[in-house]
Amino acid sequence: MLIRKMNDVEAETLDVDGAQNTTIRVVFGPRQGAPTFALRQVDLAGGGRTPHHRHPYEHEVVVLEGNLIMVGQDGEKPVTPGDAVLIPPDEEHQFKNASDTEPARVLCLIPVQHQK
């Protein structure tokens, strides 16, 4: 068993086209011995956003903090703390922080073979 404090994990800037004011922490992944899933904490500063993208695998997201806009095939939907989102394979999506000043935080679960 491995127990980690998420905020003790080094945050890396999400440095991809379309991302802004966003960091990611790999809480559990291949380096920690996770064979199937990678658990990541994504922090979006005020005005932050993930890239608008798609990938060939599902992933699950839980909103921990802040107010976000989930951009998907059906338009934009608000998501708030306690909301869980299932994003099917190949569905275009993006998270935007709805606030220009307050941070937002989510946990994201993906298959480990897609963790970089």
Question: Which sequence spans correspond to the domains of the chain?
Answer: 9-114
CA atoms of 55 and 47, how far apart (whole Å): 24
| pLDDT, one tens digit for every residue, the chain (116 residues) | 999 999 999 999 999 999 999 999 999 999 999 999 999 999 999 999 999 999 999 999 999 999 999 999 889 999 999 999 999 999 999 999 999 999 999 999 999 876 65
DSSP H helical ranges for the chain: none
pLDDT at 47: 96
pLDDT at 113: 77
Angle formed at CA 107 by CA 102 and CA 109, multiple of 5 degrees: 155
Do 93 and 55 touch, CB atoms closer than 8 A? no
pLDDT at 112: 85
CA atoms of 106 and 31, how far apart (whole Å): 21
Q: Give, in words, the CATH class of 9-114.
A: mainly beta
